[in-house]
Amino acid sequence: MDFILDIAAFLLQAIILLGVFLIAFAGVMAISQRRRGAGEEGSVEACSLNERFELQQEAIRSVAEDPVALKAREKDRKKEKKQKHKAAKQALKSQDGNEPARPRVFVLDFDGDMQASQVEQLREEVSAILPVASDADEVLLRLESGGGAVHGYGLAASQLVRLKDAGIKLTVSVDKVAASGGYMMACVADQIIAAPFAILGSIGVVAQIPNFHKLLKKNDIDFEMHTAGEYKRTLTFFGENTDKAREKFQSDIDDIHVLFKEFVATNRPVLAIDEVSTGEYWFGQRALEKNLADRLCTSDGFLLEHLEGSDLIEVRFRAKRNWQERLGMAAETAVERGFRRLLKSEQDQRYL
């Protein structure tokens, strides 16, 4: 009887795993179909960070301050707010409504993965900002990325170039990491700020390809590949790689590295590009000494510096996704995290 129950439990687990796999696969296919479309459905949302900071401060004061002093402060705050509103209204009239009463800081977020998949959201956000921003405004991009696919991060950097071409000041904030493709994006900025232990640099190119040819040969399995064009395929997963193919593959990587260096040097001429393009990375203070960053500051510190004199507006594009796509994205994220864990043993990481 126990044996039958064990078999039933095993079959139930197998059915559940199969169901989860099929649902995840359906989600991934749904995402793939959407990405082949003309664009993502969704909307751009904006919210005032000034109000958010103000509410946070009031929450603390309501507990920390004396009730009488708090009441007097609230009265003064309302009076000050009314005066500011009146002054802004008068300033707007005097400028015929052509310019905002106060400069604005538009705040964007980019949390990069291997494929730079958030570039679609970045594109929509930049397109929403460009028609309303003036040369008195600024964009703060809170960037976190360890890099990934060349074409994906190249497109992401190009979206930031659109802001520069429009004459809008761009600041990139690195609280944790902007390496490789992440730094390709960061170097476009007028100003790069970094936290003291943020990672910057890794201006280099890496490619890793497993080859199973010896395993197939050992098991008498033939593999055929037919191409037209001498270099249509160089290194392969299953075929026998030749020295000529390796040489061509290395040549392609070297060329990408040259293009990467030229892009960084053009956008950030203060760098000694040959010194910092070795593939190494540096932490905040050392990155500052290498001119990879302009000053040490967190994104929160930057926002607090501009809180009094600017309108802080967080802009975010939210795509509409059905449950299959959300599940597929979760599956993709899980697979990517697993892949990153496998690579950890080959990376020189530092832990405290």
Model pLDDT for residues 304-351, shown as the tens digit of each residue: 999 999 999 999 998 876 655 556 666 666 655 665 555 444 444 444
Residue 202 a catalytic site member: no
Point out the catalytic residue in the list 214, 218, 232, 344. Answer: 232
Residues 86, 89, 95: CA angle, nearest 5 degrees? 145
Q: What is the pLDDT of residue 127?
A: 96
Q: What is the CATH number of domain 104-202+284-319?
A: 3.90.226.10
Model pLDDT for residues 97-112, shown as the tens digit of each residue: 555 568 999 999 999 9
Nearest Cα to Cα of residue 282 among 291, 273, 274: 291
Residue 86 a catalytic site member: no
- The domain locations on the chain are 104-202+284-319, 204-279
Q: What is the pLDDT of residue 346?
A: 47
On whether the pTM is more than 0.85, the answer is: no
Contact 310, 105 (CB under 8 A): yes
Mean pLDDT over residues 72-91, rounded? 65
Q: Residue 323: which residues within 8 A CB-CB, separation 6 or more?
A: 27
Q: Residue 32: which residues within 8 A CB-CB, separation 6 or more?
A: none
The pLDDT of residue 252 is above 90: yes
Point out the catalytic residue in the list 145, 173, 180, 277. Answer: 180
**Tokens (6 digits) for 312:** 């802080």
DSSP state of 190: S
Mean pLDDT over residues 166-176, rounded? 97
Model pLDDT for residues 117-143, shown as the tens digit of each residue: 999 999 999 999 999 999 999 999 999
Mean pLDDT over residues 71-88, rounded? 66
Q: What is the pLDDT of residue 266?
A: 97
Q: How confident is the model at residue 24 (pLDDT cuts 50, 70, 90)?
A: low
